[in-house]
Amino acid sequence: MIQDDPRHRTPIGASPWVERFAGLVPPAGSVADIACGGGRHGRLFLDRGHPVLFADRDVAGVADLAGRPEMEILQADFEGGAPWPLAGRHFAGVVVTNYLWRPILPRIIELVGPGGVLLYETFARGNEAFGRPSNPDFLLKPGELFEAVRGKLVVLAYAQRVVDAPRPAVIQHIAAQRAGGATA
């Protein structure tokens, strides 16, 4: 882990982007909260009646949920070079916020099953003017999420913008859907 790593800082409350598009995830379909931290988005989907996979290298933030039948906790280091732990899995909803590790971006997109929705939001270039993350490894390039899903998912909404809350930042976010019938 490098020093300029802001990825343990987790805002309280769901992202307005995820809340806005949560209803696009097919009802009762399974949801993956990737690099979940405290699981604020997985919890949102649990409350909406979805089974949820919470995945992170540090799952202490969701330990209180252990044992609930409609959820699964996966402790995995996505950056350590181990085989991708979610190979072959598909979800009706895939949520990633405030996390970027470019080598697994194609793997994350593969997780979206037919009819499923990807909701991805993280920091983008320009954020260095406001503070961390400032390392380009953790900042999306202009249009990067849009380009990442091109030819794979249908873009429903996409933006890069400066936000004021929970603190000033440059973020990029996307809501995109895979064509086809609903994934359970």
Ligand X SMILES: C[S@@+](CC[C@H](N)C(=O)[O-])C[C@H]1O[C@@H](n2cnc3c(N)ncnc32)[C@H](O)[C@@H]1O
Positions touching ligand X (CB under 6 A) are: 7-10, 35-38, 40, 56-58, 77-79, 97-99
* 91-97 vs 31-34, strand pairing mode: parallel
* CB nearer ligand X, residue 39 or residue 115: 39
* CB nearer ligand X, residue 101 or residue 182: 101
* CB nearer ligand X, residue 10 or residue 134: 10
| Closest distance to ligand X from the beta carbon of 181 (Å) | 28
Strand order in the sheet with 71-75: 71-75, 52-56, 31-34, 91-97, 112-123, 169-177, 154-163
* CB nearer ligand X, residue 98 or residue 177: 98
The backbone torsions φ and ψ at residue 127, rounded to the nearest 5 degrees and listed phi first, read -65, -25
CB-based closest residue to ligand X: 37
| Closest distance to ligand X from the beta carbon of 169 (Å) | 12
| Closest distance to ligand X from the beta carbon of 10 (Å) | 4
SS3 93: strand
Rounded alpha-carbon distances, angstroms, from residue 154 to 92, 109, 151, 181: 14, 12, 8, 14
Q: State how far the Cα of 121 lies from the Cα of 15, in Å rounded to an integer.
A: 9
| Closest distance to ligand X from the beta carbon of 34 (Å) | 7
